[in-house]
Structure 1
Amino acid sequence: MAVIALKCPDIKVIVVDINQERIEAWNGPLDQLPVYEPGLAEVVEQARGRNLFFSMDIDKAIEDSEMIFMAVNTPTKTEGEGAGMAADLRYIEACAKNIAQVAQTDKIVVEKSTLPVRTAEKIKEILSEHGRDDVHFEILSNPEFLAEGTAIQDLFKSDRVLIGGDSNPTGKAAVNALVDVYARWIPKEKILKTNVWSSELAKLASNAMLAQRISSINSLSALCEKTGADIDELSKAIGMDHRIGNKFLKASVGFGGSCFQKDILNLVYLCKHFGLEEVAEYWHQVVKINDYQKNRFSQKIINHFGGDLKGKKIVFLGWAFKANTNDSRESAAIYVAEKLYNSGADLDIYDPMVSEDSIFRDVEFYWKVKPSIKNQTRIRVVNKVLVDDKIDAIAILTEWEDFKKIDFSDKIVFDGRNIIKHTEINHIGI
């Protein structure tokens, strides 16, 4: 929304949230924004207070708006039918109900969250049930295809903008209204118009295809280790084929983030729902290989020390799921750390952008432990890289550029991102 505000100075953009702390942070110092993303602070600086505003007054924003973007969380369900796979739509449904109850004039409602195909039907039902008879709602799907770490540039120079809407006159008018917004800076030939269902499914399919490439190269990394082949050389050889290309062919400890696993499991659930068991199993293997890779990396460290890590100090370099972001959701580091901790290791964790509070929140949530774990001595979050004689090994979990400059001489390094030259050190990579 900040980029829309920047590129369309005549359009007033209001970002609302029920979380007061988050809104205060968006209105606060630019170096303390709640999301770290290269270039984001500069965009906010230019637009905030001009035509970009952050507020908790949700009802007023609904009343004043012509177009409403729904960008709420859609986590994986933890209970009930589809638990562990299906998307939890309670926040989307609550958002739609709020819009319906407040709106006094016609609105274009845009699905921005990643949603299961045909979610728009449910949103329409809610808007119809709870809205005024004289208020018309038009539903569009406009999924985001940016990548964290390069989000601003991805928005400035999008490969494509996808807008799904109905084919009736009011649906076409709504689609064209959103096209006019993006056309301020995106060439029209890159703005694709589809039906709502194609747009909803395209986001899931896109993330699944990207994750599939990561799991494919990671599966081959295991074979390389057995045969003596070099996975980096293999990746280069494969990627030079113009039919394949070199994107997402970097072997690693596995993918993380809030999207890939969640969206693939959602896709698996949808396939099962429609009786496509073979298709469901195909996509489920992408997640299974990712779990296998994380476990394989962890087991390498454990096996290196004879199966017992008690009293061993392991330094973790990186906690974010990838470089250039402070997002650690579903990070591989979380799962590797848990396995090493349960095997007796002491952990020193360093990430230049993820805070100590965030790291311990991850530990509590994903490990399902009590907050008191923060008070014990076997896990420490440090504010600088500690590479000294008191450590037994180093595990690289995030590909931060600064980590490539560290002198790892005479250290045992488990490189989960294959970012350093293994000929120079005692290196155990993927």
Structure 2
Amino acid sequence: MTPPPVRSICCMGAGYVGGPTMAVIADHCPEIQVTVVDLNAERIAAWNAPDLTCLPVYEPGLDAVVARSRGRNLHFSTEVDAAIASADMVFLSVNTPTKTRGVGAGQASDLRWIEACTRQVAEAAQGHTIVVEKSTLPVRTAETVQTILSASQQSGDGTAKSFSVLSNPEFLAEGTAIADLESPDRVLIGGQDADALEALAGIYSQWVPSERILRTNLWSSELSKLTANAFLAQRVSSINSIAALCEATGADVKEVACAIGTDSRIGSRFLKSGPGFGGSCFQKDILNLVYLCRHYGLVEVAEYWEQVVSLNNWQQRRIAKLVVQRLFNTVAGKTIALLGFAFKADTNDTRESPAIRIAKDLLEEGAQLSIFDPKVSTEQIQRDLGVPPTDGDSSWKQATDPVLACQGADAVLILTEWNHFNSLDWKAVSSVMRRPAWLFDTRATADKQAALSAGLQVWTVGEG
């Protein structure tokens, strides 16, 4: 028997995953009413703002997708229970940060919000509801979700309710999330209820080719997300380890990456050296994988993946130490310009950004930081650094353009690969800096010859 069509979707969580994903679903499925809910009224107000430049998530192309669907079949609301009650399908797309205390602190995922959302679904749902895990979760989490839902099979008015649980992890890269959603490499759906699985597959099939929609069991789907991020992060740490060796031996990491990337067994993706990986997923998911491996007694496997994170942290500390060494072994009282604070270009997300650790290490050394990023707010930088901008010792300020950020600076660091850093007027930059002046290009994107011609000394990651 063909399962009834999905007419109403509720997504719990209006963040980097929930908002863009639901916007694209609503855009391609105008017959489905899609409601994104969140307890953060300020965030929901931003999603509903008439000015689409005020959306709480910056992603190229997102504003156009929202504009086509918002008010038609895409809605943003704080009325959580009502949205759940009317939904045929509920996506759980809330934060799952790393635990900061208790068993597994520093590695295991904190699932309190997933549990809270599941309990709210169990309470508010009506009839049969398909519950979809969209958040990145430890393998076997669906078992917990199913247990909570199964304990609430009777509604308050005595009518029966039932649930099916699916896993549908996201594989989005911030900065290209809309393109990733419009033309995904694959859509992965894990589940045991064939009707529920096909109901979700049917939604994606409206724009995704059928051969790209993969079906697995629940546990394979949950583990695939952690594994994908672990493998990608491993490549970043691997090429950064080789970059350090290139600097010591006179090799060029770009040439090495090109040489190995032409091997069809390896490929060229994620072989660009830099200040290390950031974002909300890579470190969190690897540490979660480490915790799970230790939990199941796979100590050697845990130690293997743990080293990927250790080397990433080492790369960031190495860059901060190198800046201090090149500036005569002290940066106390010196101005250092940081160009870029987001963890990557084309996003305003700073979670686990390499810039945070590097900035904190330089502040600890007594540096005065002048920070420019085209999308990250002063308030966000303050939250990340833990200190307000002041004019006192060991502090920072935010500049409104790259040249102003370099005013009086002894060094400038490129930390995010924003496109307009590729073609900076290095003569203008050099003219406002204190001599001798340094450029530390941690992304290998700057015009090195132009910077040298302007009188700057230049260090580029991975160049001997």
Letter in 2 for 1:429: T
Question: Please, which of 205, 212, 235 is the counterpart of residue 227 of structure 2?
Answer: 205
Partner of 1:135: 161
Q: Is the 8 A contact 1:100 1:132 kept in 2?
A: no
Q: Is the 8 A contact 2:86 2:126 kept in 1?
A: no
Partner of 1:330: 352
Q: Is the 8 A contact 2:422 2:447 kept in 1?
A: no
What's the CA shift for 1:389?
5.8
Distance, in Å, in 1 between the alignment partners of 2:41 and 2:305 is 39
Letter in 2 for 1:395: L
Distance, in Å, in 1 between the alignment partners of 2:186 and 2:130 is 21
Partner of 1:349: 371
Q: Is the 8 A contact 1:315 1:386 kept in 2?
A: no
Question: Please, which of 398, 411, 429 is the counterpart of residue 381 of structure 1?
Answer: 398
Partner of 1:393: 411
Distance, in Å, in 2 between the alignment partners of 1:84 and 1:116 is 14
Percent of aligned positions that are identical? 54
Partner of 1:215: 237
Cα shift readout 1:373-394 (whole Å, capped 9, x = no counterpart): 3345431011111265611100
Distance, in Å, in 1 between the alignment partners of 2:185 and 2:407 is 48
Distance, in Å, in 1 between the alignment partners of 2:324 and 2:203 is 54
Matches within 5 A, 1:269-308: 269-308=291-330
Letter in 2 for 1:427: V
The answer to whether 1:156 aligns with 2:178 is no
Q: Is the 8 A contact 1:101 1:132 kept in 2?
A: no
Partner of 1:33: 55
* Alignment root-mean-square deviation, CA: 1.2
Residues 131, 376 of structure 1: CA spacing in aligned structure 2 closer, same or farther, 3 A cutoff? farther
Distance, in Å, in 2 between the alignment partners of 1:181 and 1:255 is 33
Matches within 5 A, 1:29-428: 29-132=51-154, 134-166=160-192, 171-364=193-386, 373-377=388-392, 378-386=395-403, 390-409=408-427, 410=430, 411-424=437-450, 425=452, 426-428=457-459
Partner of 2:7: none
Letter in 1 for 2:130: I
Distance, in Å, in 2 between the alignment partners of 1:118 and 1:200 is 7
Distance, in Å, in 1 between the alignment partners of 2:375 and 2:407 is 25
Distance, in Å, in 2 between the alignment partners of 1:308 and 1:338 is 15
Letter in 2 for 1:308: T
Distance, in Å, in 2 between the alignment partners of 1:358 and 1:429 is 28
Q: Is the 8 A contact 1:101 1:131 kept in 2?
A: no
Partner secondary structure for residue 237 of structure 1:
helix
What's the CA shift for 1:332?
0.4
Q: Is the 8 A contact 1:75 1:87 kept in 2?
A: yes
Letter in 2 for 1:218: N
Partner of 1:20: 41
Partner secondary structure for residue 427 of structure 1:
strand
- TM-score normalised over the length of structure 1: 0.95
Partner secondary structure for residue 336 of structure 2:
strand
Q: Is the 8 A contact 1:255 1:332 kept in 2?
A: yes
Higher mean C-alpha deviation, range 133-142 or range 222-231: 133-142
Letter in 2 for 1:104: Q
Partner secondary structure for residue 294 of structure 2:
helix
Q: Is the 8 A contact 2:239 2:273 kept in 1?
A: yes
Cα shift readout 1:126-151 (whole Å, capped 9, x = no counterpart): 11224427211100000001100000
Letter in 1 for 2:191: G
Q: Is the 8 A contact 1:160 1:190 kept in 2?
A: yes
Distance, in Å, in 2 between the alignment partners of 1:163 and 1:63 is 24
Letter in 2 for 1:260: F
Distance, in Å, in 2 between the alignment partners of 1:402 and 1:100 is 49
Partner secondary structure for residue 414 of structure 1:
strand
Distance, in Å, in 2 between the alignment partners of 1:299 and 1:421 is 24
Q: Is the 8 A contact 1:72 1:91 kept in 2?
A: yes
Partner secondary structure for residue 283 of structure 2:
helix
- Count, aligned residues: 419
Q: Is the 8 A contact 1:103 1:131 kept in 2?
A: no
What's the CA shift for 1:40?
0.2
Letter in 1 for 2:373: D
Letter in 2 for 1:96: T
Partner of 1:429: 460
Question: Please, which of 27, 48, 63 is the counterpart of residue 6 of structure 1?
Answer: 27
Distance, in Å, in 1 between the alignment partners of 2:89 and 2:268 is 39
Letter in 2 for 1:13: V
Contiguous gaps of at least 5 residues in structure 2: 1-21, 431-436
Q: Is the 8 A contact 2:239 2:271 kept in 1?
A: yes
Cα shift readout 1:16-66 (whole Å, capped 9, x = no counterpart): 000000000000020110010000000000000010000000000000000
Partner secondary structure for residue 204 of structure 1:
helix
Cα shift readout 1:136-173 (whole Å, capped 9, x = no counterpart): 1100000001100000011111100000001xxxx000
Distance, in Å, in 2 between the alignment partners of 1:427 and 1:408 is 12
What's the CA shift for 1:265?
0.2
Distance, in Å, in 1 between the alignment partners of 2:411 and 2:153 is 60
What's the CA shift for 1:427?
1.2
Q: Is the 8 A contact 2:339 2:373 kept in 1?
A: yes
Contiguous gaps of at least 5 residues in structure 1: none
Higher mean C-alpha deviation, range 37-46 or range 379-388: 379-388
Q: Is the 8 A contact 2:423 2:447 kept in 1?
A: no
Letter in 2 for 1:105: G
- TM-score normalised over the length of structure 2: 0.89
